[in-house]
Amino acid sequence: MGRPLLVGRGGPWPFAGYFVGRLDPTPRSRVCWAGRVAVGDDLELAWRATRAVRGALLRGGPIAEDRRRALSVFWTRLDGVHRSSLGSAEGGDISLLVVAEDAEGAAVSGVGLGAVHAVGPDAPASPWVSGNHPLLGHPGLPQRRPGAITVDRLPPWLVAVAPSELGAGDPVVGGRADGILPRCGVYR
Protein backbone atom coordinates (compact mmCIF):
# COMPACT_ATOMS: atom_id res chain seq x y z
CA MET A 1 0.00 0.00 0.00
CA GLY A 2 1.36 3.40 -0.99
CA ARG A 3 1.44 6.28 1.45
CA PRO A 4 1.04 9.90 0.31
CA LEU A 5 3.45 12.44 1.78
CA LEU A 6 4.13 16.13 1.24
CA VAL A 7 7.55 17.74 1.63
CA GLY A 8 7.67 20.37 4.38
CA ARG A 9 8.18 23.99 3.50
CA GLY A 10 11.21 26.08 4.38
CA GLY A 11 11.35 28.28 7.44
CA PRO A 12 10.98 27.82 11.19
CA TRP A 13 7.58 26.07 10.98
CA PRO A 14 7.99 23.52 8.16
CA PHE A 15 4.77 21.67 9.00
CA ALA A 16 2.47 24.58 9.92
CA GLY A 17 -0.78 24.12 8.04
CA TYR A 18 -0.12 20.44 7.29
CA PHE A 19 -2.75 17.78 7.65
CA VAL A 20 -2.61 14.03 7.16
CA GLY A 21 -5.24 11.40 7.66
CA ARG A 22 -6.45 7.94 6.91
CA LEU A 23 -9.78 6.14 6.86
CA ASP A 24 -9.98 2.34 6.66
CA PRO A 25 -13.50 1.23 5.66
CA THR A 26 -12.39 -2.42 5.56
CA PRO A 27 -9.13 -4.32 6.12
CA ARG A 28 -8.61 -4.38 2.33
CA SER A 29 -9.44 -0.76 1.53
CA ARG A 30 -8.34 2.66 2.70
CA VAL A 31 -8.17 6.33 1.83
CA CYS A 32 -5.24 8.40 3.02
CA TRP A 33 -4.09 11.93 2.33
CA ALA A 34 -1.37 14.49 2.96
CA GLY A 35 -1.87 18.19 2.40
CA ARG A 36 -1.05 21.71 3.40
CA VAL A 37 -2.92 24.95 3.72
CA ALA A 38 -0.27 27.65 3.36
CA VAL A 39 -1.29 30.78 5.21
CA GLY A 40 2.13 32.35 5.71
CA ASP A 41 3.45 32.52 9.26
CA ASP A 42 0.05 32.91 10.91
CA LEU A 43 0.10 29.76 13.06
CA GLU A 44 -3.37 30.32 14.50
CA LEU A 45 -4.91 30.65 11.04
CA ALA A 46 -2.98 27.56 9.91
CA TRP A 47 -4.34 25.61 12.89
CA ARG A 48 -7.92 26.72 12.22
CA ALA A 49 -7.62 25.92 8.50
CA THR A 50 -6.31 22.41 9.11
CA ARG A 51 -9.06 21.80 11.69
CA ALA A 52 -11.67 22.82 9.11
CA VAL A 53 -10.24 20.42 6.53
CA ARG A 54 -9.87 17.57 9.01
CA GLY A 55 -13.40 18.04 10.32
CA ALA A 56 -14.89 18.00 6.83
CA LEU A 57 -12.98 14.88 5.79
CA LEU A 58 -13.75 12.86 8.91
CA ARG A 59 -17.38 13.95 9.21
CA GLY A 60 -19.67 11.16 8.12
CA GLY A 61 -17.44 8.29 9.17
CA PRO A 62 -15.96 5.65 6.88
CA ILE A 63 -15.69 6.22 3.16
CA ALA A 64 -16.84 3.72 0.52
CA GLU A 65 -14.86 0.52 -0.05
CA ASP A 66 -14.45 1.02 -3.82
CA ARG A 67 -11.43 3.24 -4.61
CA ARG A 68 -13.25 5.31 -7.24
CA ARG A 69 -16.31 5.86 -5.06
CA ALA A 70 -14.06 6.62 -2.09
CA LEU A 71 -12.39 9.47 -3.99
CA SER A 72 -15.77 10.80 -5.03
CA VAL A 73 -16.92 10.88 -1.39
CA PHE A 74 -13.58 12.41 -0.33
CA TRP A 75 -13.87 15.34 -2.77
CA THR A 76 -17.54 15.85 -1.90
CA ARG A 77 -16.59 16.17 1.77
CA LEU A 78 -13.81 18.62 0.92
CA ASP A 79 -16.37 20.72 -0.97
CA GLY A 80 -17.99 21.27 2.44
CA VAL A 81 -15.02 23.30 3.69
CA HIS A 82 -15.90 26.98 3.73
CA ARG A 83 -13.29 28.65 1.51
CA SER A 84 -12.84 31.62 3.86
CA SER A 85 -11.71 29.22 6.62
CA LEU A 86 -8.67 28.42 4.45
CA GLY A 87 -7.32 31.95 4.54
CA SER A 88 -9.06 33.58 1.56
CA ALA A 89 -12.31 33.75 -0.33
CA GLU A 90 -10.66 31.82 -3.18
CA GLY A 91 -9.94 28.80 -1.00
CA GLY A 92 -6.47 29.49 0.25
CA ASP A 93 -3.25 27.99 -0.94
CA ILE A 94 -4.02 24.28 -0.55
CA SER A 95 -1.88 21.43 -1.85
CA LEU A 96 -3.26 17.92 -1.43
CA LEU A 97 -2.41 14.36 -2.48
CA VAL A 98 -4.99 11.59 -1.94
CA VAL A 99 -4.63 7.81 -2.34
CA ALA A 100 -7.59 5.41 -2.29
CA GLU A 101 -6.89 1.67 -2.37
CA ASP A 102 -9.03 -1.44 -2.59
CA ALA A 103 -8.45 -5.10 -3.45
CA GLU A 104 -8.10 -4.28 -7.16
CA GLY A 105 -5.55 -1.45 -6.99
CA ALA A 106 -5.21 2.23 -6.23
CA ALA A 107 -6.55 5.58 -7.39
CA VAL A 108 -4.52 8.76 -6.88
CA SER A 109 -5.89 12.28 -7.02
CA GLY A 110 -4.81 15.72 -5.90
CA VAL A 111 -4.59 19.46 -6.40
CA GLY A 112 -1.94 22.14 -6.10
CA LEU A 113 1.12 19.97 -6.57
CA GLY A 114 4.37 20.92 -8.29
CA ALA A 115 5.78 17.39 -8.50
CA VAL A 116 4.96 13.84 -7.39
CA HIS A 117 7.70 11.24 -6.92
CA ALA A 118 7.88 7.51 -6.34
CA VAL A 119 10.05 6.73 -3.31
CA GLY A 120 11.08 3.27 -2.22
CA PRO A 121 13.36 2.02 0.54
CA ASP A 122 16.35 1.15 -1.66
CA ALA A 123 16.25 3.19 -4.89
CA PRO A 124 16.61 6.90 -5.63
CA ALA A 125 13.37 8.85 -5.90
CA SER A 126 12.02 9.14 -9.41
CA PRO A 127 9.31 11.34 -10.94
CA TRP A 128 5.93 9.59 -10.83
CA VAL A 129 4.11 12.20 -12.88
CA SER A 130 5.59 15.07 -14.82
CA GLY A 131 4.89 17.68 -17.45
CA ASN A 132 1.39 19.01 -17.96
CA HIS A 133 -0.32 16.43 -15.76
CA PRO A 134 -3.70 17.05 -14.04
CA LEU A 135 -2.18 16.32 -10.58
CA LEU A 136 0.19 19.23 -11.09
CA GLY A 137 -0.95 22.82 -10.95
CA HIS A 138 -1.68 25.87 -8.88
CA PRO A 139 -2.68 25.47 -5.23
CA GLY A 140 -6.27 26.06 -4.21
CA LEU A 141 -9.55 24.22 -3.80
CA PRO A 142 -10.66 22.89 -7.17
CA GLN A 143 -13.70 24.39 -8.90
CA ARG A 144 -14.70 20.89 -10.03
CA ARG A 145 -13.84 17.43 -8.81
CA PRO A 146 -10.30 16.43 -9.88
CA GLY A 147 -9.76 13.27 -11.88
CA ALA A 148 -7.72 10.29 -10.71
CA ILE A 149 -4.98 8.00 -11.91
CA THR A 150 -5.79 4.32 -11.39
CA VAL A 151 -2.96 1.82 -11.08
CA ASP A 152 -2.55 -1.78 -9.99
CA ARG A 153 0.24 -1.02 -7.48
CA LEU A 154 1.91 1.96 -5.88
CA PRO A 155 5.43 2.54 -4.60
CA PRO A 156 5.78 2.54 -0.80
CA TRP A 157 5.62 6.34 -0.73
CA LEU A 158 4.27 8.94 -3.14
CA VAL A 159 6.00 12.17 -2.19
CA ALA A 160 4.51 15.42 -3.44
CA VAL A 161 6.18 18.81 -3.54
CA ALA A 162 4.12 22.01 -3.47
CA PRO A 163 4.88 24.44 -6.32
CA SER A 164 6.21 26.99 -3.81
CA GLU A 165 8.96 24.55 -2.77
CA LEU A 166 10.35 24.11 -6.30
CA GLY A 167 12.00 27.56 -6.52
CA ALA A 168 15.56 26.32 -5.93
CA GLY A 169 15.01 23.02 -7.72
CA ASP A 170 13.17 19.87 -6.81
CA PRO A 171 14.18 18.76 -3.27
CA VAL A 172 13.25 15.11 -3.92
CA VAL A 173 14.66 14.09 -7.34
CA GLY A 174 17.45 11.54 -6.94
CA GLY A 175 17.20 11.53 -3.15
CA ARG A 176 16.81 8.42 -1.03
CA ALA A 177 14.12 7.58 1.50
CA ASP A 178 16.43 8.20 4.48
CA GLY A 179 16.84 11.85 3.45
CA ILE A 180 13.39 12.47 1.98
CA LEU A 181 11.07 11.02 4.64
CA PRO A 182 12.26 13.31 7.50
CA ARG A 183 11.52 16.30 5.24
CA CYS A 184 7.93 14.99 5.17
CA GLY A 185 7.75 14.58 8.95
CA VAL A 186 8.31 10.81 8.89
CA TYR A 187 10.99 9.28 11.06
CA ARG A 188 11.31 5.52 10.84
Alpha helices in 3-161 (DSSP H): 43-58, 67-79
Q: In what order do the strands lie in the sheet with 18-26?
A: 18-26, 29-38, 93-102, 105-111, 149-151
Pairing of strands 105-111, 149-151: antiparallel
Cβ contacts of residue 149 below 8 Å, gap of 6+? 107, 108, 109, 129, 135
Task: Provide the pLDDT for residue 76.
Answer: 86
DSSP classification of residue 113: B
CB 106 within 8 A of CB 2: yes
pLDDT in tens, the chain (188 residues): 789 999 988 778 888 888 999 888 777 788 999 998 877 777 888 888 888 888 888 887 777 788 998 898 888 888 777 666 666 544 567 889 999 999 899 999 998 898 999 999 988 999 998 778 888 887 777 778 888 999 999 999 999 998 878 877 788 888 899 999 999 988 87
Domains in the chain (CATH in brackets) are 3-184 (3.60.40)
Amino acid occupying residue 134: P
- Give the 3-state secondary structure of residue 105: strand
Task: Provide the pLDDT for residue 109.
Answer: 93
Compute the radius of gyration of the chain from its Cα atoms.
15
Pairing of strands 157-161, 105-111: unpaired
- Of 149, 157, 154, whose CA–CA distance to 184 is shortest? 157
